[in-house]
Amino acid sequence: MNTRILVSAILLCSALASHAENYFTTILGKSEEEVEARLDSVWHHFFTPADIARYDADGETSVYYECPDGTAFVMDTGNNDVRSEGMSYGMMISVQLGKREQFDKLWQWSKRHMAYPADSAWDGYFCWQCAPDGTKTGGSNASDGELYFVTSLFLAAERWNEPAYADEANAILHKTMHKNGAESGVYNLFDRDNRMITFVPDSMGYTFSDPSYHLPAFLDKWARCATSDRSFWAEAATAARRHLAASAHPATGLYPDYSLYDGSPYRWPHAGYDTSMYMYDAIRCPMNVGMDYNLCGADRPAQADAMRRLLRFFKDDGFAHGHFALDGSGASGGYSRGMAGANAVGATTLVHADNEADRLLAHEYIGRLWDAEPPSGKYRYYEGMVYFLSMLHVSGHFLLDF
């Protein structure tokens, strides 16, 4: 990549990341006070310390549980376990809202129970699944967890003027990018040849990826603040943008849950379902695209085009279903509040479109998110965390520079 273009892209992302539009205010006419009150309500909905004995009770809302030792965890209430995804999401939400106490409690639990020991080939990575008592129950990692852990730590260092957080983020990057997979069976977090994130950096998962793990705005952040590999992270951000464009279906805009590095859908034989479809992970892709559009602006025409296809598809489906083959066939499942959130973030790419139809489409999605209540009950965790992150994005409260 041309060095001058690379530097310009990084500077553009840095400039834009300090300012984010509050679309609830500019599009829906909500006051700043209304938006702040809504976010405060959602925070208390999900992060009021809860009783572990009631995690699956009807009407229960929180996913945040505090421990006697001063740590805390975010629980996947649908499976009664703790995942690196949820812990890193909780840390990101906490740092964006300035909740240092909760941030530190979650980070301490993650380091104490999820981090692999120094004598492990997995040193630097975090176990993707633990029991609520901290016992590791899943092997390997889930690579999106490291993405959110590292980025939230860099942001915490800036927000609270504490360099130790950045030191920990840089240590994770150093360890996870200096593996010798041929000897240990544990590979780098990112493939250095194609500059893309691995699904899981082991012998079963390092040859393919997951579109929802592609977070170009995060990688641009690393290109500005990591102590090493800055040019690599900038190139990885470009590769992530290209992957999000390549993996979106040319007609429907739908993403697969898993993909090969060229963007084509991939059905992993070890999964319990067809991972080449739009099912679970893929709902996050519009959130990633909208985030990058707003905070970096490096690939806006392609991003708006992909979101236009996807948003029209769901509207034509009547917001009825949540699972599809990529061509839109085989509809099943329900349209979730997590999808309402992520799609609203994707819709911000069309807010200032040249044609009225696109603008009205964007307004509808943003309005639908505002009207959506946060989920409660046993299965509130995953769609709830995506919903909360989306509320931060659309309200302009998700920043990558403080």
The CA distance from 73 to 392, in Å, is 21
C-alpha angle 287/292/293, rounded to 5°? Answer: 95
Q: Please give the C-alpha separations between residue 94 and each of 90, 184, 291, 313, 346, in angstroms, as whole numbers.
A: 6, 35, 18, 33, 22
DSSP 348: G
DSSP 116: P
CA proximity to 285, closest of 234, 352, 338: 338
CA proximity to 389, closest of 302, 293, 287: 287
Amino acid, single-letter form, for residue 138 = G
Q: How many Cβ atoms are within 10 Å of 227's Cβ, its own excluded?
A: 12
Residue 85 catalytic? yes
Residue 371 catalytic? no
- Residue 130 is inside which H or E element, if any? strand 129-130
One of 144, 281, 299, 401 is an active-site residue; which one? 281
| Phi, psi of 292, deg, nearest 5 | -65, -40
| Phi, psi of 45, deg, nearest 5 | -60, -45
The CA distance from 325 to 276, in Å, is 8
One of 85, 144, 191, 229 is an active-site residue; which one? 85
Query: Which positions are catalytic?
Result: 85, 281
